[in-house]
Amino acid sequence: MKLLILGNSGSGKSWLGKKLTQKLDCKLIEMDKLFWEPGGFNKKRDPELVKKDIHLSTSTDSWICEGVFGKIADMAIEKANMVILLDLAWEDCKKNLMNRGPNYEDCQSPSQADKSFEELLNWAKEYSVRENHTSRNYHYNLYNNFSGEKLILKNRDDVNDFLIRITN
């Protein structure tokens, strides 16, 4: 399996990716870890390193790549044989983000984590209206132009049903 999972922050990409890698015994590629320097979400990695890492990571026989970054997805989709678009409503994404809360582990201070979390909520809320590589529109274009197997999941029930089908 070479699977690309796209969607908004809070849509469940990481959760689904982790569940699938456990069941299917393959590698998980997290776009956040490729895109950002360690220590938080405030410093981007060099684009050439990101490109090198995504090409290396997707050169194996089995992987699941998840994230919001369309420019990374552009590179991974070339080798994918399946794409899943998690198109959950903003209220569902917001609920998931609120349940997850701030990421204190990757930040230098609790106040930095709280500020980053507020910025994430505001940014994720704009998913449907943004016009860049992290937008709903960009993800749909990737999805629509993909010629392999593809699936849109619109709510948690769809995600759970898919997990049951693919892992049985």
Once rounded to an integer, what is the mean pLDDT over residues 22-45?
79
Helices (H), 61-134: 70-77, 90-100, 110-125
Q: Which residue matches tokens 């070339």?
A: 78
Kindly tell me if the per-residue pLDDT of 100 is higher than 80: yes
- CA dihedral sign, ordered 61, 159, 140, 96: negative
The reply to whether 100 falls in a domain is yes
Domain that holds residue 143: 2-157
CA distance 105 to 40: 8
Average pLDDT estimate for 121-126: 96
Q: Which residues contact 115 (CB under 8 A, 6 or more apart)?
A: none
The residues facing 4 across adjacent strands are 65, 83
- Does residue 166 form part of some domain? no
On whether residue 60 sits in a domain, the answer given is yes
Is a pLDDT exceeding 80 seen at residue 112? no
Which pLDDT tens digit goes with each residue over 1-23?
899 999 999 999 999 999 999 98
Q: What percent of the chain has pLDDT over 70?
A: 92
| Sign of the C-alpha dihedral computed for residues 161, 152, 98 and 71 taken in this order | positive
Whether 27 is in a domain gets the answer yes
Residue 164 lies in a domain: no
* CATH number, domain containing residue 91: 3.40.50.300
Burial class (CB in 10 A: 0-12, 13-18, 19+), 165: exposed
Domain total for the chain? 1
pTM of the shown model: 0.91
